[in-house]
Structure 1
Amino acid sequence: MDVMRTRIVATLGPASTDTKIMKAMAENGVRIFRLNFSHASADKFIPVVQMIRQVEDELGIPLTIMGDLCGPKIRIGEVEGSPRTIEKSCLVELGLTGRVPSPEGCVAIGVDLPQVLHGLDVGMPVTLSDGMLQFSVEKVLEKDRRFLLRAHNSGILTSNKGITFPGKSHPLPALTDKDKVDLHEGLAIGIDAFAISFVQTRQDVEDAKEEIKRHGLWAPVVAKIERENAVRNIESILEAADAVMVARGDLGLECPLAEVPVIQKRIIRACRHAQKACIVATQMMLSMVNNPVPTRAEATDVAGAVMDGADCVMLSEETAVGRYPVEATAYIREIAKNAEEYFLERVQGPYAPKKEKNLVKYMAYSACILAETAESAALVAHTTSGATARLLSSRRPAHPIYALTTSKPVQRYLNYFWGVRPRLADMNVENHLDRAQSFVQKSSLFKPGENVIITSGQPTPGQPRIHTNELKVYYK
């Protein structure tokens, strides 16, 4: 069943909150189910978590539950006479909510957060309604408080729509008070990982990790890259995050849309070099909300993300509210399988590390080369923290990677990584190498006479801490 290397993330919603549908999606390769805290609180997700665990038990495979936190989404307040028609070249006043419209008598829009207006100046872009209305600052009426905006196109303006300031830095932390409540309540009901919205710096990720630590648990943090600041700070964000998501919806509002495809490629590459998972999200198969098949362009988009080396591809509306959630995952699976074959053909062997004195990277690379040379059935890695499996995955070997760990949180974290099939290790066997060999011997995945490449680590007199220090060609 588990033949894909690329992982599928599926968002749950009214169209898919059913154990039969979840099971069918998991059989199509979904390993991560996303719960969107923009639409519900933790108590509403309790039955959903129970359903996912039921499917996990029935299929005998680990499934990861990711809570997606809202973050500081900036919205305008009520617009008098909403909906209002905005004509191209007309003027709109922007200020704090509740202020009197300017003497020009133009439409007034307000925001509740004064920080987002600080530093706004003539010529700077402003967008509304998911980018459908585009403006620039025509005049500063009152520094950091009131502005006239010139419309660059016509459209309909309604109340409570999102507003963005492309390229402008905002002094707003990614984790809001609501997010902190959702995070702690989510951990309490059994959510495995959290995606943090509107990350701008490494500190945003560290703040989320600190909140998780306060709960007395460990859970991976996925940094959503949807602001231009995050793109600029991607290297430092990757040092702190456990995975990142290329959230192309808001990213396409913050950055010029023409640049988003290249930004996606750069982030995927940076993730692989940092051994962190990369999720590509937003409108991957949006037409399947209403149609039983994707468009040719959508199929090409999914294949492109896979051939760029993404670890995961994510479905949002397609599985949350769409009419064909199971079919959408089936199409993703088939497209990904075909794209993976071409990807492996193109790269012609595992990626070699840069010329650096990095022993663990070279051991992972060596294991992949051995697997090719010995025509092995698989790579088997005993990994306490998941680091060894991540290193193997970053080399993008053709062989499946079976990652044995003693930690359920680590097992579910490893669902994010390309080619990794996480399994719980047999705690009745003490030695790491023996655990790996026992797994091969007992598993029906491997035929007698087949070999696997095992990576493991045991303390030695000169290396008291456990690190990967063994490679073995093991014949069943």
Structure 2
Amino acid sequence: MSYTRKTKIIATMGPGCADKKILRDMVNAGMNVARFNMSHSTHEEHAKRIGMVKDIRKELAVPVALMLDTRGPEIRLGKFVGDSVEVKAGGTFRLVNEQIEGTSSEAYVTCPDFYKMVSPGDTLLINDGLIKMQVKKIENDAVVLDVVIGGTLSNHKSINVVGVHLGLPYLSDQDKKDILFGIKQDVDYIAASFVSCADDMRVLKNFLLQNGGENIEIIAKIESKMGIDNIDEILEISDGIMIARGDLGVEIPMEALPSIQKSLIKKARATGKRVITATEMLESMIYKPRPTRAETSDVANAVYDGTGAVMLSGETAAGSYPVQAVKAMSDIAAFTEQSIHYRKRFTFTDFEINTIADAICASAVKASYDLDCQAIVVATRSGKTAKLISGFRPACPIIAVTRHEKTYQKMALTWGVQPILAADQPKVTHEAAEQATKIAGYFNLVHKGDTVVAVASTGVEDANTLAIERV
């Protein structure tokens, strides 16, 4: 039997994969989630790509989840003449309020009150910290900077002010427009940028509730020291986290990033929440057809840590080898997974067991080990039970049967889960587990003689039934 990868792959949409054939090849190569970064491209361009993804997943009869990534409370540069310019160390640079096309001496900054937020001596990091400038003085409504480390400035790059909380409202008017667009397009997830505390999550969650987006899951992007400091409260209210190592790596020492990544992955898994590892995973593949050895090790390390998903950004959005990048990531993850001793690596003491559903799901995974089961089969309406089981990182596949299209697509992001969309999904009865097992057999995911653990619910509550079935 061929091996099915457990770690899910998120690929960012953009000009690099705007062709339908390329996008289809990416899905066939292993893409599970299409990410739409609202910091780039127009609503019209995103709508066209979303339409293509929906067409392709229907054509191929595979689940592909849709993720909208917000701009968040960030400050960015405007556009530049020729799309990019060079700035040199020792020179000066101005940030202005006029929406000009930037040059090597000045550029538009997206926050009109930026000059009120910074002071002489403040350090600015641009383009994930590659360019460093220091505030020299405030001149009317312009910020005059000394260039400490030069480099290439390009369109819409983000600006970090080191150690300064800028106090921007969590949802900007543009964020609200983007989220309403996502609700209309029926996205499955919102990756919320620059989350610093639980209140940010509440603001977003309330906006979704008020506008018909209550079924959209929220992934909090951790990309600041405040986000790390408040991780427990963020995990409590969000559906998962993304370790956005680009901006995060600007705010914390680079040598601390690997251990923080491991800690965040462990915390997310312990609370049954999703966790995504992102940024520069296969960065060289923007220009080259093969990853470096260091990139290969980076992806494998995240898989060993138990990340639920790994993400491609510029590699697919603007790279020359989007299909190869997806395939490389899939191959690395799949090979790494097969060398993991799951029972030893992901112990039950890591997890919080607080509810009946937690206990049932933990017992299902333990039984799968004790009886050497070939699969865990789940009958699910919302995908919650499958996600809980997934958090324990079992060695065997998790086969999740649902009749709900939305749940089917969303489970494309759930680690280890193979979703089945079945018109005659098991009814919510004590026989649901047995019926789900039969459906899994029909789809050739379990076979005669297999032993499976089947989990279901006998009512409107979460999972409360466990059965051992022989196919």
TM (normalized to structure 1)?
0.85
Q: Distance in 2 between matches of 1:425 and 1:401?
A: 16
Residue 175 of structure 1 pairs with residue 176 of structure 2: no
* 1:260 aligned to which of 254, 257, 262: 257
Amino acid at match of 2:187: I
Q: Distance in 2 between matches of 1:169 and 1:124?
A: 12
Contact 2:75-2:158 at 8 Å conserved across structures: yes
Give the match for residue 15 of structure 1.
16
**Secondary structure, counterpart of 2:149 in structure 1:** coil
Q: Which moved more, 1:23-32 or 1:407-416?
A: 407-416
**Secondary structure, counterpart of 1:30 in structure 2:** coil
Q: Give the Å deviation of 1:6.
A: 0.1
Contact 2:124-2:132 at 8 Å conserved across structures: yes
TM (normalized to structure 2)?
0.86
Amino acid at match of 1:470: T
Amino acid at match of 1:258: E
Q: Give the Å deviation of 1:136.
A: 4.6
* 1:126 aligned to which of 113, 124, 147: 124
Give the match for residue 450 of structure 1.
450
Q: Which moved more, 1:218-227 or 1:416-425?
A: 416-425
Residue 196 of structure 1 pairs with residue 198 of structure 2: no
Contact 1:84-1:156 at 8 Å conserved across structures: yes
Give the match for residue 225 of structure 1.
222
TM alignment of 1:76-155, pairs within 5 A = 76=77, 85-88=87-90, 92=92, 97=97, 111=109, 113=111, 120=118, 124-136=122-134, 151-155=147-151
Q: Which has the larger radius of gyration?
A: 1
Amino acid at match of 1:351: F
Q: Give the Å deviation of 1:299.
A: 0.5
Residue 69 of structure 1 pairs with residue 70 of structure 2: yes
Q: Distance in 2 between matches of 1:370 and 1:166?
A: 50
Give the match for residue 101 of structure 2.
none
Q: Distance in 2 between matches of 1:45 and 1:267?
A: 31
Q: Give the Å deviation of 1:248.
A: 1.4
Q: Which moved more, 1:13-22 or 1:466-475?
A: 13-22
* Per-residue deviation, residues 350-409 of structure 1 (Å, max 9, x unmatched): 534558654432322211111112221100122333322122111110011112334332
Contact 2:86-2:150 at 8 Å conserved across structures: no
Give the match for residue 103 of structure 1.
none
Structure 2: tracts of 5 or more residues without a match = 99-104
Q: Which moved more, 1:205-214 or 1:157-166?
A: 157-166
Q: Distance in 2 between matches of 1:449 and 1:160?
A: 57
Q: How many pairs does the alignment contain?
A: 458
Q: Which moved more, 1:343-352 or 1:287-296?
A: 343-352
Residue 285 of structure 1 pairs with residue 287 of structure 2: no
What is the root-mean-square deviation of aligned Cα atoms in Å?
Answer: 3.1
* Per-residue deviation, residues 183-221 of structure 1 (Å, max 9, x unmatched): 112221332222222222222222222222223242112
* Per-residue deviation, residues 97-144 of structure 1 (Å, max 9, x unmatched): 47xxxxxxxx77775636656675566432234423324557x779x9
Q: Which moved more, 1:420-429 or 1:7-16?
A: 420-429
Q: Which moved more, 1:292-301 or 1:401-410?
A: 401-410
Q: Give the Å deviation of 1:267.
A: 1.5
Relative to structure 1, the CA distance from residue 117 to residue 242 in structure 2 (aligned partners, 3 Å threshold; closer, same or farther) is farther
Contact 2:316-2:322 at 8 Å conserved across structures: yes
Contact 1:116-1:171 at 8 Å conserved across structures: no
Give the match for residue 462 of structure 1.
none
Q: Distance in 1 between matches of 2:357 and 2:222?
A: 28
Q: Which moved more, 1:66-75 or 1:356-365?
A: 356-365
* 1:273 aligned to which of 270, 273, 293: 270
